[in-house]
A and B are shown apart, each in its own frame.
Chain A
Amino acid sequence: MFELAEAFSQFVVGQTGARGAKVIEFEKLSGGAIQDNFGLSLQIEGGERPGLQELVVRQDAPSGVAESLSRPEEFRVLEAAFKAGVTVPEPLWLCEDLDVSGQLFYVMTRADGSASPRKLVKSDLTVEQRRNIVRRLGAELAKLHTVRPPVRSLDFLTLPGQDGAALSRVAIYRRHLREMAEPHPVLEWALNWLEDNTPEPGPAVLCHCDFRTGNYMMAGENLTAILDWEFAAWSDPAEDLGWFCSRSWRFGAHEREAGGVGEKQDFLDGYREAGGTEVDPTAVSYWEVMALVRWAMIALQQARRHISGEQRSLELALTGRMVAQMEYDLLTQIQELEGDQ
């Protein structure tokens, strides 16, 4: 660990033109199976960023499985989000030289607070505070969704097919499901429903694609940073809105549809009032169903990594047994949506 801290420190010295830097603290942060995140406090002498610097280094884990963006791609997305005014850690420097630490990594500023979903969901907030938080989160997405293709620095992101983001997703999930050894009739049924109920596609915008409680940092009632950009893609704005409201991401507070924190209407109002694309609430509900299917697909793939022996892990194995929860929620949600019509 000491050598790694020194390697990162020297890299920062080189980037900032400093005379030197002393490592005050270095620790591995929790979370992330695909990436390692390190907290790095440096006392920097001279250069562009003198003084105490609280930083985070994010690099590929040795056993990294890359179905998501690479570190350099993620860095570009973070830069685009930062430029659009989204509350993210400031992306500072990307290192593509494997000789420095053995992996690709980038350095960003460290945000205060906690990303713990349970802590936030269970915290003693007033109705007003809850409203403010979800409105703010909606407004953040509105800013992100102002980034639209083409953007030269994001040319690695693929565009949805001609039929729109929803049907592109359905086609991918059908393929994934065919590759599974075991049958999943509920997911087949839900994919048919998604194919038959596709809303009018929205414009292609930069979507976070994992925007949910647990992936943003809060210091008390203040949002300090939106994290985990490795699934970002050009997609339909309603995808981010639906993912946030999905039943899977309410952490026990099922009645609070917006991330287990607040009301869905407040979240959507925050989005609209901050200049977000006009989004039909039925499209958001549709993408909530898509979110359940997507999470089930991710869980099945995680379980397969365990079952195949590629990565034996109790956590991955248990995730496979969670799929029935998504299936149960799909049956309930679709029934409710049809009842509303």
Chain B
Amino acid sequence: MIPANAAQLILGEASGEGGGPCTARCSGAWTVRGIADLDRHLATLAWPPQGEVVIDGAALAALDTSGAWLLHRVVRDLQRVGRAVRLTGLRPEFESLLQLVASRGIVAQEPAAAPPGWLARLGRRAWMLGVGTLGYLAFVGEASIVLLRSLRQPHRLRWRVILHNMQIAGIDALPITGFLSFLMGIVIAYQGADQLQRFGANIFVVDLVALAMLRELSPLLTAIIVAGRSGSAYTAQIGTMKVTEEIDALRTIGVTPQEQLVLPKIVALVIALPLLTVYTDITGVLGGMVMARTKLDISFDMFLDRLGEAISLSSYWTGISKAPVFAMIIALVGCYRGFHVTGSAESVGEQTTMSVVQSIFLVIATDAIFSIVFLWLDL
């Protein structure tokens, strides 16, 4: 159904034989809400092959810039093919609006060019990957130089900022990391209980839980949680600061962003993550203890007695020693991605996602490398 005041252009019969003027009558409201059908209609409209065209605007109920553009386009298209066009009956205010629209040089944006082929895309990907890796290496180098320089003058380190970062990344993460590793301890003890019971080797649940948690799971689990919690926060913070030009402001007042933003985060995390790992070692083993008592009737005393024999100090240290490396990875990736944010809000989200994915990937890959190295070293 066409509303009563829909925009319309009605073509009249050409008056007279052979080239008399042809009249087109505009009516209705030529406004942004009313011209959708008219636009489709105009595309299929068959103008008489020759002669002058008279466009009669006397019956126009309303005209806005959108309608004026459409009218202008009709006139322009006709004139382009060499037709004489005359506009009549337009109200003066419509006339001036038409003038206003017509007076601007308007270039409609063409839709974006077709996406490049797969080979071009592959090439671009590979190139970007190479550039990204180089950029990352450069960033790590830069951070190392700043770090070494500040280690020579420790008073230049921003200890307040470092403590603040330790509170956010470390102390505030205690509940979630502790809870999750406690659950992990329970799960391992529970899974092991069945198998061990079959061989009557109940007591070895202690070895299972302690070794698994201390050597592998607790450092890995903690690093992954911290990467999700703090790595993403680093990217979002630095990225937003980049969008709001705070990074540039830091540079202009003679503070390198590396020194102010990156270094405190690295130092704080390198201190906080091993401490967190010690804590999750404890909560994880605690989870195993609880499960061992309920499922295998191993009392806390028995568990603790066995614990000393089950694990050597080196197992404990191999687990803890991974944590500072993971911390470096998380802090460096988080900050690096933050500096890669470009002006848009979308980019902040993109880089934060990449930061979390890459740091978790690198943490797990590094953990695998550690395992191989420890195997060689027979630790």
| Chain A complexes with chain B | no
